[in-house]
């Protein structure tokens, strides 16, 4: 575990490769799940303010759900989450011409209509944030529907933390991400020194 300016970063985000492959998963992370995506308290207003703009991209079922129950829901712990449809898909889902599930919020953002990309928890996946008394911990979450992302990440040799550079920069800032990169470089140097030391120890035994 690395500590980067008060944020705990799991080394699994460094050691594991990851890169979303929508051709493989068809946006399955927006479809499957027994609870909605976490929403930060300060994102509730973003959803409410921007809903009239991005709702045109949503499915009729999604619009009906939001207009009956609101732009957010609660999980079992009382935290804010995105609302789900009866089939467990996110209410904010939409589909492209190939049937790939997409985010209506992100589509409006990509078209320059709003300045809110999507909930940060979605942007950060496969990171899950655990809030501790003195820290935030960034953990690597494994989900079978993302097996294609793991394969593509391995093919590209792209560590999860690098794939998530944009999301991490959005969450913590560019200076924090630069500090993370430096910490990863130092970790690699320390690991190399340890390996060399072990090899030399066995050589002289």
pTM across the whole model: 0.88
pLDDT above 70 coverage of the chain, percent: 92
Query: Residue 41: pLDDT above 80?
Result: yes
Give me 202's structure tokens.
């066995």
**pLDDT of the residue at 198:** 40
* CB 35, CB 75: distance < 8 Å: yes
Query: Residue 202: pLDDT above 70?
Result: no
Q: What's the whole-number average pLDDT of the chain? A: 91
53 sits in which H/E element: helix 44-54
Query: Residue 191: pLDDT above 60?
Result: no
- Provide the 3-class DSSP secondary structure of residue 39: coil
pLDDT-based confidence at residue 1 (cuts at 50, 70, 90): confident
DSSP 8-state code for residue 142: P
Query: Residue 199: pLDDT above 50?
Result: no
Furthest-apart CA atoms within the chain: distance in Å: 74
**pLDDT of the residue at 203:** 43
**pLDDT of the residue at 178:** 98
Paired with 137 in beta bridges are 8, 130
pLDDT above 90 coverage of the chain, percent: 79
**pLDDT of the residue at 33:** 78
User: What's the CA gap between 161 and 167, in Å, rounded?
Assistant: 9
DSSP 8-state code for residue 36: P
Q: pLDDT digits over 87-136, tens only?
A: 789 999 999 999 999 999 999 999 999 999 999 999 999 999 998 988 89
């Amino acid at each position: 575990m690395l500590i980067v300016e008060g944020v705990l970063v799991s080394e699994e985000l460094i050691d594991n490769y990851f890169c979303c492959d929508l051709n493989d998963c068809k946006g399955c992370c927006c479809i499957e799940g027994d609870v909605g995506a976490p929403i930060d308290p300060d994102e509730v207003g973003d959803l409410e303010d921007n809903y009239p703009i991005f709702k045109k991209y949503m499915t009729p079922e999604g619009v009906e759900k939001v207009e009956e129950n609101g732009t957010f829901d609660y999980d079992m712990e009382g935290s804010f989450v995105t609302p789900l449809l009866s089939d467990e898909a996110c209410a904010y889902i939409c589909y492209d011409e190939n049937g790939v599930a997409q985010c209506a919020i992100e589509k409006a953002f990509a078209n320059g209509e709003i300045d809110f990309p999507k909930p940060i928890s979605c942007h950060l996946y496969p990171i899950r944030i655990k809030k501790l008394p003195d820290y935030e911990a960034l953990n690597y979450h494994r989900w079978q529907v993302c097996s294609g992302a793991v394969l593509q990440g391995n093919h590209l040799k792209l560590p999860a933390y690098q794939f998530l550079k944009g999301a991490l920069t959005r969450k913590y800032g560019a200076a924090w991400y630069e500090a993370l990169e430096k910490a990863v470089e130092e970790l690699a140097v320390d690991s190399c020194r340890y390996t060399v030391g072990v090899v030399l120890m066995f050589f002289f035994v």
